[in-house]
Chains A and B, each alone.
Chain A
């Protein structure tokens, strides 16, 4: 899973002027024109491809709606809690596994192979344990983000320059001081990368759980739009969701200086 982090390196390519911008504009315009043509062609069921104006109206209506922000807040809170619990657990477990070769060999394979399994199938268990309300969504978010964060932190621990560790030891730093003064600063990049991956997984886990069984949150709104066959609204919500997800992902990477390391 860690490779997905490396994939993001491609995001640093391309200036914003000249032929590239022109080609981008042409592609966007082409897609929009094709979309509008399909919407009016009558070849597809009505509303499967709504006209651009309908989507734009739905987008404006969505962004002006108080209910949307309430649900966005609910989902953001669930993802935040999931990330906090899963991230803290992942950080501790990752540091322990990264610091101890024996424990790493004994337990990391389990985490490594459990990492890329579908987490949404644990929803029935989460519901049995935590009920149908918010806690089961947080549980799924927590469980989803725990694996990438743990593996990223453990790998980061092993990459710390041994000189730094010797410096800490020669100052007779205790375990807490070693963690706070040496380990965490030395592996801030793997931690931030793990957090970025973890955010993506927590987002998917939480939202999918909401689409399956809930009465609030963005996932619930999406599935309600599906149930009422309100396609323009569904498109509008997916657009906003994708913009937010890609934005937060890029922001975490940017704040952590990940782009700078990749370019160097």
Chain B
């Protein structure tokens, strides 16, 4: 009995903040609903949450949200595969040729801090107003973290592991595939996770800006029709999708990380 209460107490300590957090969000929404219904907030600027919830049905049935989601997901996945392959390959190449790493690593780091998404008008001219522009925007935005984390991961391989490889007389290729790459994998995935997050942000952002494609375009579309509740609902859907995507990536990363 005492054991049971002892385990219940930490569980309650874990649950209580989550309940308070959720209750605050719910209370804020209810308060907004009330203020809008009594006219204290203009309903033509902020639609009542109840209307936004209702608009979800409209988005699912009339706006083909699932098809749009698949389109955005496909663009993201393509950008993700491209940035993983190119990023890891560039990182490995730069690690293999140290001179290249010393010459270019600073450039890649600088690229990571440049507002690359501002290049979308340029990409529109080069690739046209199509999915390729969106994919390429996702690709270049996500590339720098993958390259940098790949280099970091391979460089940080523990010396004892490298020595094990040497003592088995592995050649350079075997050393890479059997020792360096598996050891670097968790760090590389941190880069891929960041890259994918940047890719998703830029894919949805570009869809919104160039009014083409999946989820991002839906927001532009509804906002231009001045469908207020629909716009808010579509934004909520995009946020939800991003958050779920982010959580899934975190879970995979935790699964990949070795237990020390």
Contacts and interface: CB of A to CB of B under 8 A. Distances in A.
Interface of A: 3-4, 7-11, 13-14, 19-20, 23-24, 27, 48, 102-107, 109-110, 113-114, 116-118, 120-125, 128-129, 200, 203-204, 207-208, 211-212, 219, 222-223, 225-226, 229, 231, 234-235, 238, 241-242, 245-246, 249-250
Nearest to B25: A110
B18 A117 contact: no
A100 to B, nearest CB: 10
Interface string B97-114: 001111111101110111
Contact of A238 (B18, B101, B118, B148): B118
B145 interface: yes
Contacts of A113: 243, 246-247
B115 A117 contact: no
Main secondary structure of the interface of B (DSSP, over half): helix
A118 B223 contact: no
A128 B122 contact: no
A121 B20 contact: no
A91 B219 CA distance: 31
B238 A118 contact: yes
Contacts of A235: 122
A20 B105 CA distance: 11
Contact of A203 (B99, B115, B119): B115
B92 interface: no
A223 B120 CA distance: 10
A235 B112 CA distance: 19
A245 B114 contact: yes
B121 A117 contact: no
Nearest to B232: A125
Contacts of A250: 110, 113
Contacts of A204: 115, 117-118
Given A124-B231, A211-B121, A225-B121, A117 B201 contact: yes
B170 interface: no
Contacts of B219: 121, 124
A27 B106 CA distance: 14
Given A20-B102, A231-B125, A120 B209 contact: yes
Contacts of B122: 226, 234-235, 238
Contacts of A121: 204-205, 208, 216, 219, 235, 238
A7 B148 contact: yes
B20 to A, nearest CB: 5
Q: Is the interface of A mostly helix, strand, loop or mixed?
A: helix
Contact of B145 (A3, A107, A219): A3
A116 to B, nearest CB: 5
A234 B231 contact: no
A132 to B, nearest CB: 12
Given A19-B99, A104-B17, 15 more contacts: A7-B112, A7-B149, A13-B106, A23-B99, A23-B100, A48-B125, A102-B17, A107-B21, A114-B239, A117-B243, A120-B205, A122-B235, A124-B231, A234-B121, A241-B115
A116 B103 contact: no
A242 B151 CA distance: 24
Interface in B44-75: 45-46
Contacts of A122: 235
B186 interface: no
A110 B22 CA distance: 10
B125 A226 contact: yes
A207 to B, nearest CB: 6
B24 interface: yes
B246 A116 contact: yes
B82 interface: no
Residue picked from A14, A109, A113, A124, most chain B C-beta under 10 Å: A124
A74 B234 CA distance: 31
B103 A208 contact: no
Nearest to A122: B235
Contact of A200 (B115, B121, B190): B115
Contacts of A109: 18, 21
Interface string B185-229: 000001000100100111011001100000010011001000010
B58 to A, nearest CB: 17
B93 interface: no
Contacts of A246: 110, 113-114
